[in-house]
Amino acid sequence: MTPSARSRRAILFDRDGTLIQDVPYNRDPERVIPMPAAAEAMREVKAAGVATGVVTNQSGIGRGILSREQVARVNLRVDELLGPFDVWAVCPHAPDAACGCRKPQPGLILDACAVLDVRPEDAVVIGDIAGDLEAARAAGARAVLVPTPVTDQAEIAHAEHVAVDLAEAVRMALRMQGSRRAEHV
């Protein structure tokens, strides 16, 4: 099913710390380990017929630590384990590059929505840090935080929607999209 044939809703996931365990500057597909409840969450999204995407900062490319090919191989492994995802949006820039795609900027979310032919307000971003939520907000999308040990307590306190794991985050996102669709009818 093509994204345009879908219900025009999307759930966009952060990669590291959200879909898979965060291995800093991972270049080895064998080190890709899904987060707890990730497989269950992806089954629920697919059953709902919602478009999916991954929006991920990969500053290791811009820092010269990783190649684009290494990142692509890790992404392929994520796709094999949890996908397939309808779109991948990757920011390859170092933090000081001042690009418009590096989260918390909205570029990755806007690009993914454009590829999926989904309005940003019909997308929900799921991530583990404030930058994910800020990027969603800046793009006009909703967001759900799934805290991990690296998530700051202040980020949790300021998040509008917080889930205990990825499966709960997906259920929240699907409910949010249901309420948003009802507003447009």
Question: Which residues are the active-site residues?
Answer: 14, 16
Q: In what order do the strands lie in the sheet with 51-57?
A: 87-91, 51-57, 10-13, 123-127, 142-145
- Residues comprising the chain, all counted: 185
Judge whether 117 and 4 are in contact, CB under 8 Å: yes
CA distances from 180 to 29, 64, 153, 158 (A): 37, 42, 28, 22
Judge whether 121 and 97 are in contact, CB under 8 Å: no
Helices of type H across the chain: 38-48, 59-62, 68-82, 107-116, 130-139, 153-158, 166-184
